[in-house]
Structure formats: structure tokens, C-alpha cells
Structure 1
Amino acid sequence: MQTRATPATATPLDRFNAAPAEEATRTLLACLNSPAWAHRLTAHRPYPDLTALLAAADEAAYDLTPEDLAEALTAETPPALPEGTYAAAHTALSAAHAAYASRFGHAFVISLATVSPDETLNHVLTAIRSRLSNDLDEERLVAAEELRRLARTRLSTTLR
């Protein structure tokens, strides 16, 4: 006989699985602003564990249409720099972000989950400069992959 988690012992994933659809969708939209992605994940609940949810999230992210991807990208903001970053670095990064947004029509997105705070500035500047040379189709693929990684990290953080 399977036991149910009581409210006092329910995990964040248990609460997500049991939440009303609107609440689950809001939780997901905070991780990736794609209603198609959020509704798909909400509709396939319950998830037996976080690994299964993350796999489903990855699959749903890979299936985003160009319109879904554009919608998700419009909600993204550039990554924050660590405290104590020099003003000159902010200026250089602001200029790079403006050039990127002008070229591609959306904010530069990058997952920094595996980057140490000391490496963040160099990692972001190197990536944005490199990606500015991408053509539109190539950058759409790179941005989609970065969004998938961001969503995965946000979902893990939210439901862990």
C-alpha cells in the first residue's frame, strides 16, 4: 500500500504535483515564460521524481515552436553580474547586450549554473561576443539551448 505524504512532510515536488493546474502553471512560468511549455508539463503531472520532471521539461523545451521560443525570450533579462563588478565592465557589458538585442531582437540569455562567480563576467563577455557572429538561425538554436538550461536550473531550484 502506497502512503501519501502529509502536508508537513510533502516535498516541493509533491506539492507541485498536487497543486491546482493554475498554480502549477504559474510555478512553471516563473522558470520559463512559455505557456505551451508550462501547460504541457502541468498536463503530464504527477511526476514520480525530479529527474522525471526535468526530463519532461527538457523534452518540452526541445519541442518549442519558433513562436514559443520568441515569447519565452521576450521575458528574459540579461544575466546579473556579481557584486563588486567594475563600472567599466558594466559599460562594456551594456554595450554588448545592446548590440546583441539589436542584432537578434531579444535579450542575451546564458545559463551560468556551472560558472563560478569569479568567472561570470569573462564568461558572459566571451559568450556574447562569440554569439554576435552567429547567423539568426544558428543563434536561435543556441538561445533555445540556453533557455532550456535556464529552465532546468530554475525548476531544480524551485522544486528541490
Structure 2
Amino acid sequence: MTRGTTLPAHRLPYLPKPLDAFNAAPADEARALLQHCLRCLRWSRRVADHRPYPDLDSLLAAADEAAYDLSPSDLSEALAGETLPDLPEDTYSAAHMALSAAHAAYEARFGHAFVIYLGDTHPDESLDRILEAIRSRLTNDPEEERVIAAEELRRLARSRLGTCLRGATSHKAPAHGR
């Protein structure tokens, strides 16, 4: 029995990994992606200017390092771009009112949006975690709260970068944020 000619192997077009695409992107595109994740122009520029990154872990480390050098005005800029995490759709209206009231008290005390990294918090538990954190953090003095808010921003940024560049190779599982 003779067989017909063998068809050539099907080759998929080469699609660069997200990190490769990020490394090769024009500076303004890289900064735009970083601005979406980091919410601060100086932070975004600093990370973009140090491209290329050999792997996602290196990029995340650079973003962390740059976060520690944020000036108070940089931190204010990043905080201004934040909003409260979304609540599950079936959250009852009294919970929305409680969250709005707590957030208003927080903004009045500290002058910026409340930020929290929810990590692996189950969506059904997010409201309780947010309310508990706001109430607890309302007792902080403004400088102590700025340090905590900066750390939460850094964790959110890592999560967003990991999500945007999830196809990049990393030794760690991508973090899940709000």
C-alpha cells in the first residue's frame, strides 16, 4: 500500500512572549503599559528605561526597587489613580453604603484613595477584608499610613504587571490583585 505525499508540518506564526514584546516595544508603548500598572509617570519611566529584562522576575524586582524610591509627590500621583476594589455583583446595598462611608472617612483623614492588595482573597470575603482593613488603618497616623499605602501600591503593581505579562517566564505564579 502506498501512501500519498506527506503534507508539510503546519507552523504557527511566531508570536513573541509578552515580555519579549514589552522589551522590544517603542519606549512610549512600554511606558503606557507600565503607566496602566503603576499609575505614576516617574515610576513607569524608570522601569521602562531599564529594559530589556531577561525574565518577569527581573522586571518585577526592578518595579519593586523603583517603588521604594518614590517621592511623596510620586506616591500621591500613584494613589490618585487608584479606586476601591470592585465588589461582587450580588453585594447588598447596605454593604456598599458601609464601604462608601468607610472610604469617605479614610479619604477625609489621609487625602487619598484607600488601596489594598487582596491577593488570593475569595471574592465572597473581599468586602469584609476591605472594611476591616479600612477601619484598622483609620487609626494609623498619616506617615505610618503612607508607608502602608505605598506597600499596598507596590503589591498591586506587581500583580498588574504579572497579569499583563503573564505569558513571560517566571518562577513564581502570577499574583492576583483586586
Query: Alpha-carbon deviation of 1:9?
Result: 2.8
Query: What amino acid is the match of 1:21?
Result: A
Aligned counterpart in structure 1 of residue 111 of structure 2, from 105, 113, 118: 105
Look up the match of 1:94.
100
Aligned counterpart in structure 2 of residue 150 of structure 1, from 148, 156, 174: 156
User: Following superposition of structure 1 onto structure 2, how do residues 2-151 of structure 1 map, counting pairs within 5 Å?
Assistant: 8-151=14-157
Query: Alpha-carbon deviation of 1:159?
Result: 0.6
Structure-2-length-normalised TM-score: 0.85
Query: What amino acid is the match of 1:96?
Result: A
Task: Give the whole-Å Cα distance in 2 for the aligned partners of 1:73 and 1:16.
Answer: 25
Query: Alpha-carbon deviation of 1:114?
Result: 2.0
Structure 1 consecutive aligned stretches of length 4 or more whose deviation exceeds 4 Å = none
Look up the match of 1:4.
none
Query: What amino acid is the match of 1:54?
Result: L
Task: Give the whole-Å Cα distance in 1 for the aligned partners of 2:116 and 2:16.
Answer: 33
Query: What amino acid is the match of 2:74?
Result: D
Look up the match of 1:159.
165
Deviations for 1:106-131, whole angstroms, at most 9, x for unmatched residues? Answer: 11000112211121011000000000
How many residues are paired up?
Answer: 154
Structure-1-length-normalised TM-score: 0.94
Look up the match of 2:10.
none
CA-atom RMSD in angstroms: 0.9
- Unaligned 5+ segments in structure 2 are 1-12, 167-178
Give the structure with the larger helix fraction: 1
Larger Rg: 2
Query: What amino acid is the match of 2:73?
Result: E
Q: Percent of counterpart pairs with the same letter?
A: 66
Query: Alpha-carbon deviation of 1:22?
Result: 0.3
